[in-house]
Amino acid sequence: MSKFYITTPIYYVNDKPHIGHTYTTVAADVLARYHRQKNDEVFFLTGTDEHGSKIARSAQKAGLSEQKFADKQTKLYQKYWSELLISNDAFVRTTDPIHEKIAGEFFTQLKKAKTPKDNLALYEKNYEGLYCVGCEAYKKESDLEDGKCPDHKIEPEKVSEKNWFFKLSDFEDVLKKKIGLDEIKIMPEGRKNEVLGFLASGLEDIAATRSKVDWGIRVPFDETQTIYVWMEALINYISALGWPDGEKFEQFWPADLHLMAKDILKFHAIIWPAMLIALEMPLPKVVFAHGYFTINGEKMSKTVGNVISPADLINKFGAESTRYLLLSQFPLGSDGDISMEKLKEKYESDLSNGIGNLISRVLNLVEKNFDGKIPHPVKSPKDLSVIGAMLEEGKTYEALVKIQSVVTWANQYIDKKKVWELVKTKKDEAGVILGGLVELIIDLGNALMPFMPETSQKIIKLATAEKIVKGEGLFPRIE
Ligand code: MSP
């Protein structure tokens, strides 16, 4: 039996959960469920990122203490993840006392650690720089467009303080080597080349602590400082396992898959591995950066007013169809565009008219013509085993395309054979066809299990019943 440790980013609580967070979390859940289905020992982690200036400011705006604000926002994430049947094994909050303790311990060890070039991993320096609170990161002049952060469209703030610095520049060569050799496999391939390109342009050291951010974890060896929120957040992946000597840590580290969008790939592919190398720890096996999507062709933003919430999706399509629809839009690694209209079209083509229609036609014919008993137990006419191989590589979209192509084939096969006439003219032949299709429906139920866990149970139950009945539609029409 192998183990599979999969993580999502921990989401900032200044935002309410939206379709972007939902997309990553659902994708991770599908992969976690796939691995459980094949009997791997799975640990699936998600959570919330609750420290830093960005959150402190949002709390202030909301007129709440940082902790009250974080509590309130985190509840929303937990509520929607539960409605969407997200099967995480743990939910980490960076304000959990255990995370705070472990992050502090990590820094204590980092202070004693050496870089691959035998320098101290942490050193003190006076620093002046431009800080974008939206990114929670320092920016170079060359990163800016018209003096503003290209992602957040705000001018970064001039910050001048004494900090502890992490000697990231010393890790350049070792990271190049490990990423080049896929010791840390960056997926998709194009993203790996991007990271290698970035490494080739040279790494600068980063401020590992902040003196003017109070809403954070105190640096154990320097009370004037809090831990830089990104480095603190990355530690969640091991604090949730009880590093350094927790049983879960022993069992599950290193991560088999860190999943996120490309916006935060560098933190996961460069800073995080460097932190781990400094402490001589095993490195994550795969860092997978999926694409970033727009909504109706525009960047999702409150100002544009095009933010789609998980509630919008669940109310319209139901939780399980939402899971299917999000992943059926474009390959996990690609950028794309999503709109409520496109999701609705997909609901109709793939779910009501596709899978739903196939199931009700086949079961109805068996119920009406064979008294609900499969006349001939025959093998399924299609082999779906390739779907497992696809999910093994994180190809959730490709797996759904394959499922859909089989559904389309089956619906056309029924049309071509005119099975509804065949049951009257050549009942035996119709029986063989329907027996095969019932098997196919069971296989489809199994293949869909990671995507729609409850609906697929229903499908399997309907198709394996002793006396098959058409039952009620699985995918009701939506307005
Ligand atoms: N708190 C950090 C992550 C720390 S992980 C140690 C953070 N949080 S976030 O709330 O901004 O979440 C970013 C992530 O949300 C993206 O990497 C992605 O997983 C998801 N997405 C947010 N918007 C998205 C899109 N428009 N498209 C695709 N993914 C989206 O960064």
pLDDT digits (tens, 9 = 90+) for 39-86: 999 999 999 999 999 999 999 999 999 999 999 999 999 999 999 999
Q: Is residue 376's pLDDT more than 80?
A: no
Greatest mean pLDDT among 13-17, 131-135, 171-175, 303-307 lies in 171-175
Least confident window among 44-53, 101-110, 129-138 = 129-138
3-state secondary structure of 185: strand
Q: Ligand 1 pocket: which of 18, 21, 236, 335 to mutate (most atoms <8 Å of CB)?
A: 21
Instruction: Enumerate residues 6+ apart whose C-beta is below 8 A from 325.
Output: 313, 317, 343, 346, 347, 351
**Cα 24 to averaged position of ligand 1 atoms, centre (Å):** 8
Nearest CA to ligand 1 atom 9: 11
CB 134 within 8 A of CB 151: yes
Residue 199 tokens, joined? 């490494």
3-state secondary structure of 215: coil
* In the chain, % of residues over pLDDT 70: 100
CB 277 within 8 A of CB 167: no
The whole-number average pLDDT for the span 11-22 is 96
**Cα 406 to averaged position of ligand 1 atoms, centre (Å):** 34
The whole-number average pLDDT for the span 368-386 is 92
Nearest CA to ligand 1 atom 24: 20
CA 87 from centre of chain: 12
Task: Give me the residue label for tokens 């139901």.
Answer: 318
CB 29 within 8 A of CB 44: yes
Helix (H) or strand (E) holding 9: strand 3-12
Question: Is residue 328 very low, low, confident or very high in pLDDT (cuts 50, 70, 90)?
Answer: very high
Q: What's the rounded Cα separation, in Å, for the pair 24 and 8?
A: 7
Q: What's the rounded Cα separation, in Å, for the pair 439 and 460?
A: 10
Neighbours of 214 (CB within 10 A): 12
Residue 374 tokens, joined? 């499969």
pLDDT tens-digit map of 407-428: 999 999 999 999 999 999 999 9
- What pLDDT is recorded for position 166? 98
**Cα 270 to averaged position of ligand 1 atoms, centre (Å):** 17
Ligand 1 atom with minimal separation from the 261 CA: 17
Q: What's the rounded Cα separation, in Å, for the pair 138 and 407?
A: 50
Q: What is the 3-state secondary structure (H, E, C) of 294-323?
A: EECCECCCCCCCCCCCHHHHHHHHCHHHHH
Q: What's the rounded Cα separation, in Å, for the pair 240 and 269?
A: 20
Question: Is residue 445 very low, low, confident or very high in pLDDT (cuts 50, 70, 90)?
Answer: very high
Nearest CA to ligand 1 atom 25: 20
Instruction: Enumerate residues 6+ apart whose C-beta is below 8 A from 155.
Output: 147, 148, 149
Least confident window among 84-98, 254-268, 331-345, 367-381 = 367-381
3-state secondary structure of 261: strand
Task: Give me the residue label for tokens 């109709």.
Answer: 348
Nearest CA to ligand 1 atom 18: 261
Ligand 1 atom with minimal separation from the 234 CA: 6
Q: Is residue 98's pLDDT more than 80?
A: yes
What are residue 423's phi and psi, to 5 degrees? Answer: -60, -20
- Percent helix / strand / coil, the chain, rounded to 5: 50, 15, 30
Higher-confidence residue of 405 and 159: namely: 405
- What pLDDT is recorded for position 302? 86
Q: Ligand 1 pocket: which of 292, 313, 335 to mutate (most atoms <8 Å of CB)?
A: 292
Q: Is residue 362's pLDDT more than 90?
A: yes
- What pLDDT is recorded for position 147? 92
* Mean confidence (pLDDT) of the chain: 96
- What pLDDT is recorded for position 234? 98
**Cα 403 to averaged position of ligand 1 atoms, centre (Å):** 28
Helix (H) or strand (E) holding 158: strand 157-166
Ligand 1 atom with minimal separation from the 49 CA: 1
- What pLDDT is recorded for position 127? 86
- What pLDDT is recorded for position 345? 98
Instruction: Enumerate residues 6+ apart whose C-beta is below 8 A from 197.
Output: none
The whole-number average pLDDT for the span 78-100 is 98
- What pLDDT is recorded for position 144? 93
Nearest CA to ligand 1 atom 10: 11
CB 51 within 8 A of CB 99: no
Residue 63 tokens, joined? 């007129």
CB 417 within 8 A of CB 437: no
3-state secondary structure of 240: coil
Instruction: Enumerate residues 6+ apart whose C-beta is below 8 A from 149.
Output: 132, 134, 135, 139, 143, 155, 156
Ligand 1 atom with minimal separation from the 268 CA: 6
Nearest CA to ligand 1 atom 23: 20
3-state secondary structure of 130: strand
Question: Is residue 212 very low, low, confident or very high in pLDDT (cuts 50, 70, 90)?
Answer: confident
Helix (H) or strand (E) holding 431: helix 427-448
Q: Output the ligand 1 site: residues, CB below 6 A.
A: 9-12, 15, 20-21, 23-24, 49, 233-234, 236, 260-261, 263-264, 292-293, 300
Nearest CA to ligand 1 atom 16: 261
Q: What's the rounded Cα separation, in Å, for the pair 362 and 425?
A: 17
- What pLDDT is recorded for position 256? 98
Neighbours of 349 (CB within 10 A): 13
Q: Which of 11, 48, 10, 8 is nearest to 31 (CA)?
A: 8
Residue 22 tokens, joined? 């939902």
**Cα 309 to averaged position of ligand 1 atoms, centre (Å):** 14
Ligand 1 atom with minimal separation from the 263 CA: 17
Q: Is residue 475's pLDDT more than 80?
A: yes
pLDDT tens-digit map of 216-272: 999 999 999 999 999 999 999 999 999 999 999 999 999 999 999 999 999 999 999
Instruction: Enumerate residues 6+ apart whose C-beta is below 8 A from 137.
Output: 131, 230
User: Where are the alpha helices (H) located in 260-395, listed in sequence order?
Assistant: 265-266, 272-278, 310-317, 319-327, 340-346, 357-370, 386-392
Helix (H) or strand (E) holding 457: helix 453-464
Q: Is residue 164's pLDDT more than 90?
A: yes
Ligand 1 atom with minimal separation from the 264 CA: 17
**Cα 22 to averaged position of ligand 1 atoms, centre (Å):** 10
- What pLDDT is recorded for position 37? 97
Torsion angle (degrees, nearest 10) of CA 406, 407, 412, 415: 140
Total number of residues shown for the chain: 479
Q: Is residue 389's pLDDT more than 90?
A: yes
Active site residues: 18, 21, 132, 135, 149, 152, 299, 302
Q: 219 - beta bridge partners?
A: 222
**Cα 327 to averaged position of ligand 1 atoms, centre (Å):** 16
Higher-confidence residue of 61 and 375: namely: 61
Amino acid at 28: A
